[in-house]
Structure 1
Amino acid sequence: MNSLTLLDSPLFGGSFVDAKMRALFDSDAFVSRCVETEVALAEAEARLGVIPRAAADAIAAAARTIRFDQARLTRETELVGYPILPIVEQLADACGEAGRYLHWGATTQDIMDTATVLQIRAALKLIEARLVETMDALRSLAAEHRDTPMAGRTHLQHALPITFGYKAAVWLSALERHQERLAQLRMRVLVVEFSGASGTLASLGPQGLAVQEELANVLGLGTPVITWHSARDGMAEVVQVLALVCGSLAKVAFDVSVMMTTELGEVSEPFVRHRGASSTMPQKRNPISCELIIAASKMVRQHSGLMLDAMVHDFERATGPWHLEWAAVPESFALTSGALVQSSFMLSGLVVHPERMLTNLGISRGLIVAEAVMMALAPLTGRQSAHDFVYAACRRAVETGRSLFDVLAETQDVAVPLGLERLQSLTSPENYLGSASTMVDLVLSGSRRHVEQ
């Protein structure tokens, strides 16, 4: 099958898109959700006596058996500009006499928005499930490597020692916050849209709001305070949160890809024959999952900006911004779910090399814990003097290629107050891990997750 876009490509699509998410947002699924909304509307109106009960039952029966003429649906959608009228015409024909009551009091955007909300509800469940899988992988890494020392890096330079478990727990903490965000946005996003042509429900007279509420009940959605045809903050929020999720995944992927470099060699993506292989360099094992995650993150970020543009609707119905959502919403969910699948795969099988972490930790010959010496010396000499003594020693160690301990042992202003035994301990990086392990425990226990306001 030929395709135009990356996400639908038979070559690349499987690398970027979770197949289950694709099934939630493909064109057939959208038509099904539109039909589901029309059936729910008829049911709601029948319950309230707006249309005959027999009509609602006939509409539901026709919806269960209809087979749309796809060629006609495509042709008429191109002509009309929207798929709802073509869907309604075919469904009404299938309903027979009851077809006259189909789409009663509704407008195109009512059906399409509600159908999209139904898709989002299912998609959020899948995103949350994939997020849990990734978080579980990070919890395992954080627990297993709680005390595995490695170099902490700031500005791509050695800073102070940390543990790999601490690094994994930091990654995990961001995803936990995204899990909360996804739960919190449901009340704002999973609401029905049924408001009529200009949003006032005028066609249903005094029963308009009752029908809206009953439709929400039938579909298991919330009821909005007021029409949101042109107030698109809910839809925009969904994509912003997806972009945040992808941003955090890309941070993990960037760290892992750098740690996989030949020079560092601290971790490796899971080994699968030929994965990450080069067509010409047999030794290569490229960070394929990391690359896919980072690329997906950039694409979802673009969609998050697009959704901010899509918020600028003119008057009560937009002349174009709404159409941006048709691309941004499904593609953002597709890419985010795909990035989560890649993240779960990569992290659950990540190969950690503690011995390389320890080797890299010692590359600076003790300079990485210069702060430890300074802080121990400060109570004895004053902070500024301690800083100056240790700073000078660091310069001599760099210039001469000697270890920090060897230089400090010859520095009377440091060696005498501290003593050589304590100085040896202070210049051993694995002894200066601060509260890293305790912080891992706090993240894994969730004891600081909820802060009282």
Structure 2
Amino acid sequence: MVRGFRSYKVPSTVIESLIFRDMFGTPQMRAVFSDEALTARYLEVEAALARAEASVGVIPKEAADTITRAAAKMRVDFDRLKRDTEIVGYPILPIVHQLAEASGAAGGWVHWGATTQDIMDTATVLQVRMALDIMAADLEALRSILRGIARRYRNTPMAGRTHLQQALPITFGYKAAVWLSMIERHADRLTELRARVLTGQFAGAAGTLASLGLSGFAVQDALCRELNLCTPIATWHVARDNFAEVVSFLGLLTGSLGKIATDVMLMSATELSEVAEPFFRGRGASSTMPQKRNPISSELILAAAKSVRQQVGLMLDGVVQDFERATGPWHAEWLALPESFIVAAGALSQARFMLGGLTVDEDRMRSNLALSGGLIVAEAAMMAAAPKLGRQKAHELIYSACRTAAADRRPLAEVLSGYPEIFDALGGEEAIRHYCDPANYLGLAPEMVDRVLGARPENAQRVSEERETTAAGVGR
């Protein structure tokens, strides 16, 4: 037995581990999917069902009141629930037995006309609603952090890279704005999917509401009103696209966070050293190399993205179900959905920490931008010479000059000055130096930052004011 732990309480996965759980998740999200919270949602749905049925005259109001009080006060016997669930295969009949006992004479009205999956699905929807609220708040906080980075570094030049090679100059604010644009879309997706996912489930054994006769739709609608959920237009016992969509959303979100993390990891490599994760004593330390400052948050985010991606596949596989009640695919959701939310929440938490305290070395960005000796803006010189020389000839001459500059390790401006045709086409040595300065070839990167920041109505006024301030500064 591990010292300090009771053997039966030692967790076995990283999302529950006393050591790792706050690296791969958050206490708030774990609480949503805890056994205590899950059984509370079961009882919440059973009590709401009783009230709904009483409201349309299916069961006595006194019974519904008693069931509601019992559900609010009862303490679940988890040892008994575990034992009975292992026998039955599902937790609802065992929880119904405990609630019925706690309800006394009214216990005979508990779970009236419902089936196990009605209660479990609706309880899961209530969990998903709580989880999405947490995700929405975290996304908003991350959006705010990225807006600040994009705004602050709007005009900070750095090397843009394609295929891991320096390509053209960009600004760090532009890079952050691209990151932000993904997060903005995810915030939109979260809002849009709520109406589809936050839908109650109540349809009875085969989904036809037969046990309630003509009162079925009235009870279904009343139950959804009680729980503030959308009423389904059809039974979704075996139509699982809603839950598959929400986990797919988490896959997209963590994928985008993984892209951001990958950029940060590469930019924090010793050879680049353009950014670094927040530092405090011991963070990212190596057991053998005292100099190390490893990008821990980024590594955890990337691991989370890979993990949730696998759960997306499992959820999509679970969409393929048989007849009116599935034999197995439904159970796969029990594994995939909670873990996806917990791990995604952990990734968001790591991203907020990492980006909120990101160290940005503007001098190193400029230094790296100058590494090529102007080769990074060869396109600028080519496009400037093309009107006089023609694009193809300008390309051939600049290409030749670039090969010479690279081979001889000479600045491109110096080499170009030795080509009479280019010297004449560009307008002399001073003009050549201008075209070979990466800071003069940022394209519309700063303006794209403005467009991303201004895409949201709440940002439009601030961006307009910032542009006016910038223009006034330039005028001075």
TM-score interval, normalised by the smaller of the two chains: over 0.9
Q: Is the 8 A contact 1:442 1:448 kept in 2?
A: no
Structure 1 residue aligned with 2:450:
441
Residue from 291, 297, 304 that aligns with 2:305 = 297
Structure 2 residue aligned with 1:423:
432
Structure 1 residue aligned with 2:267:
259
Write the letter of the residue equivalent to 1:252: I
Structure 2 residue aligned with 1:409:
417
Structure 1 residue aligned with 2:255:
247
Deviation at 1:121, TM superposition (A): 0.4
Write the letter of the residue equivalent to 2:430: E
Q: Distance in 2 between matches of 1:224 and 1:417?
A: 70
Q: Is the 8 A contact 1:189 1:235 kept in 2?
A: yes
Q: Is the 8 A contact 1:153 1:160 kept in 2?
A: yes
1:320 equivalenced with 2:328 (yes/no): yes
Equivalent residue of 2:124, what SS? helix
Write the letter of the residue equivalent to 1:342: Q
Structure 1 residue aligned with 2:474:
none
Equivalent residue of 1:14, what SS? coil
Write the letter of the residue equivalent to 1:95: S
Matches within 5 A, 1:121-132: 121-132=129-140
Matches within 5 A, 1:202-351: 202-351=210-359
1:142 equivalenced with 2:150 (yes/no): yes
Residue from 141, 152, 155 that aligns with 2:160 = 152
Q: Is the 8 A contact 1:128 1:179 kept in 2?
A: yes
State the TM-score, normalized to the length of structure 2: 0.93
Write the letter of the residue equivalent to 2:392: Q
Q: Is the 8 A contact 1:202 1:208 kept in 2?
A: yes
1:66 equivalenced with 2:74 (yes/no): yes
Q: Distance in 1 between matches of 2:343 and 2:98?
A: 33
Deviation at 1:27, TM superposition (A): 1.0
Structure 1 residue aligned with 2:464:
none
Write the letter of the residue equivalent to 2:451: L
Deviates more, 1:439-448 or 1:415-424: 439-448
Residue from 177, 192, 195 that aligns with 2:200 = 192
* Structure 1 pair 203–447 and aligned structure 2 pair: CA distance change class (3 A): closer
Q: Distance in 2 between matches of 1:444 and 1:103?
A: 51
Deviation at 1:448, TM superposition (A): 9.8
* Structure 1 pair 389–437 and aligned structure 2 pair: CA distance change class (3 A): same
1:2 equivalenced with 2:17 (yes/no): no
* Structure 1 pair 447–183 and aligned structure 2 pair: CA distance change class (3 A): closer
Q: Distance in 2 between matches of 1:90 and 1:224?
A: 29
The superposition leaves residues 272-295 of structure 1 with CA deviations (integer Å, 9 ceiling, x where unpaired) of 211101111111000000000000
1:103 equivalenced with 2:111 (yes/no): yes
Any stretches of 5+ residues in structure 1 without a counterpart? none
The superposition leaves residues 320-379 of structure 1 with CA deviations (integer Å, 9 ceiling, x where unpaired) of 000010011111110111100000000010000000000000000000000000000011
Any stretches of 5+ residues in structure 2 without a counterpart? 1-8, 459-476
Write the letter of the residue equivalent to 1:437: P
Q: Distance in 2 between matches of 1:375 and 1:107?
A: 70
Matches within 5 A, 1:47-66: 47-66=55-74
Q: Distance in 2 between matches of 1:136 and 1:175?
A: 10
Moved over 3 A (4+): none
Write the letter of the residue equivalent to 1:428: D
Deviation at 1:17, TM superposition (A): 0.5
Q: Distance in 2 between matches of 1:428 and 1:88?
A: 74
Residue from 25, 47, 52 that aligns with 1:39 = 47
The superposition leaves residues 155-201 of structure 1 with CA deviations (integer Å, 9 ceiling, x where unpaired) of 00000000000000000000100110110001111000000000000
Q: Is the 8 A contact 1:269 1:349 kept in 2?
A: yes
Query: Aligned pair count?
Result: 449
Q: Distance in 2 between matches of 1:2 and 1:447?
A: 47
Deviation at 1:416, TM superposition (A): 1.6
Q: Distance in 1 between matches of 2:333 and 2:364?
A: 47
Q: Is the 8 A contact 1:146 1:437 kept in 2?
A: yes
Equivalent residue of 1:199, what SS? coil
Structure 1 residue aligned with 2:397:
389
Deviation at 1:447, TM superposition (A): 6.1
Q: Distance in 2 between matches of 1:203 and 1:399?
A: 84
Deviation at 1:312, TM superposition (A): 0.9
Q: Is the 8 A contact 1:212 1:223 kept in 2?
A: yes
1:88 equivalenced with 2:96 (yes/no): yes
Equivalent residue of 2:103, what SS? helix
Deviation at 1:421, TM superposition (A): 1.1
